Amino acid sequence: MAIRGTVRLAAMLAAVVVLVGTGCGSDPGGGGTGGGNASVATAEKATPTPKATKKPKHSTPKPKPKPTPKPTKAAVAKPATKIVFVNVGQGDAAIIKSGSWTGLIDGGPSGSEGAIESALRQLGVSRLDAVVVSHPHADHTGGLSGVVYDYRPRQAYVGEGAGGASSALRSVGTSIKQVRRGETLRFGALSAKVLSPGSLSGDANEDSVVLLVDDGGKRFLFTGDCTGANESLVGSICARGPPLYLLKVAHHGSRYSTSSSFLAETNATFAVISVGSNSYGHPTPETISALRAAGTRIYSTRKNGTVTLSVAASGSVAWTFAKSSKPVTKAGGSSGGGGGSGTSTAGSSGGGSGKVYVTETGECYHLGGCQYLSHSKIPISLKDAKAGYRACSVCKPPT
């Protein structure tokens, strides 16, 4: 009897958790800060939840469901991944680390060596396995020579060439390989499919190396400054697979890339724009509104500082931002509340307001330890959370 009673009580408690969870995620009204109507079925994730025996359904089906890859054997097979969009100002530099393998996609404008090397040190990296030079423009290669001398990459992947970094690469003995559409590169435990260029058009931006990186089914697209016919082709290739988890927006948010049809085909949940102060008007209002219309949550290195994604073996993703954690909602460079450069990475804010977290798809904000953060954990200020999300009724964050 006592045992049966305990079992029944446990079942009731589980039911309560499920009910509470459903209530928390059931209101589809929350456009709010990100407008992210992208939906990933949180309940499918295999991360164990200590309390409930059944998986609580935290997010409700949305108009545009995005299938999530099954994490199944990931816990044993795949090491953790870090993807870092380094804040190099007006230019691109992204680090990918998979287990002990580390690669760098582009090296930012001249003067960004310090920021890139500091990010590499923070990851505990002393040597690069590979660099990718998307195309030989100075805002992608200017900072590369210094990094190449210090981190002696074994391999370089280029489309057109490595531009100003060529002699540095040769002098440290890096093997340089021209890549073309259709090849698949191995980035540690990840695969990186070359989607562009096929043949060279003669326009350096259009001929950017475009990589589709797959991390256990989560897809990340690195576009360089791709545009034109090659961008259209990349879109059509992406459309054959599941939606992107993250799009590195091409050409710093220029209006000449990221067309609405491309966005419809790639269907990204998140976008990161690598951009600094510039006279080109990057990112342009057209690009920002197209991304928002596609339901993509946007971050930029200009507004958010260096953006880091930590993808655990289970597939759960934790985001950290060196500056503001508020998504980009308009094109204006520094208009948003962030103002200066206040650090808002997890756990560092004071003054009683505290840092809370949202998930990729839910409409609630949570305390750091909440069970609903097992799938994704994206910091946000309490003020922004209150503006666009509801307080989770399980962990009861401040309201």
Binding site for Zn ion (CB under 5 A): 137, 139, 205, 225
Q: Which two tokens stand for residue 333?
A: 């460079």
275's CB contacts (< 8 A; 6+ apart) are: 90, 252, 253, 282, 283, 300, 301, 302
Q: Which is nearer to Zn ion, 205 or 359 (CB)?
A: 205
Angle at 247 between CA 200 and CA 302, to 5 degrees: 105
Q: How far is the CB of 140 from Zn ion (least distance, A)?
A: 5
Q: Which is nearer to Zn ion, 153 or 276 (CB)?
A: 276
Residue 103 in contact with residue 123, Cβ under 8 Å? Answer: no
| Beta carbons within 10 angstroms of residue 115's beta carbon | 19
Q: How far is the CB of 298 from Zn ion (least distance, A)?
A: 18
Q: How far is the CB of 122 from Zn ion (least distance, A)?
A: 24
Q: How far is the CB of 83 from Zn ion (least distance, A)?
A: 19
Q: Which is nearer to Zn ion, 94 or 391 (CB)?
A: 94
> Which residues are registered as beta bridge partners of 271?
247, 298
Cα–Cα distance measured from residue 128 to residue 100, given in angstroms and rounded to the nearest whole number: 10
Residue 80 in contact with residue 73, Cβ under 8 Å? Answer: no
Quickly list DSSP for 224-290: TT--HHHHHHHHHHHTTSSPPSEEE-GGGG-TTS--HHHHHHH--SEEEE---S-SS-PSPHHHHHH
Torsion of CA 87, 89, 90, 96, to 10 degrees: -20
Q: How far is the CB of 139 from Zn ion (least distance, A)?
A: 4
Q: How far is the CB of 360 from Zn ion (least distance, A)?
A: 28
Residue 353 in contact with residue 320, Cβ under 8 Å? Answer: no
Q: Which is nearer to Zn ion, 52 or 233 (CB)?
A: 233
**Within 13 Å of residue 198, how many CA atoms lie on the same side as its CB?**
8
Q: Which is nearer to Zn ion, 139 or 363 (CB)?
A: 139
DSSP H or E run through 83? strand 81-85
Q: Which is nearer to Zn ion, 306 or 371 (CB)?
A: 306
Q: Which is nearer to Zn ion, 205 or 374 (CB)?
A: 205
Q: How far is the CB of 200 from Zn ion (least distance, A)?
A: 14
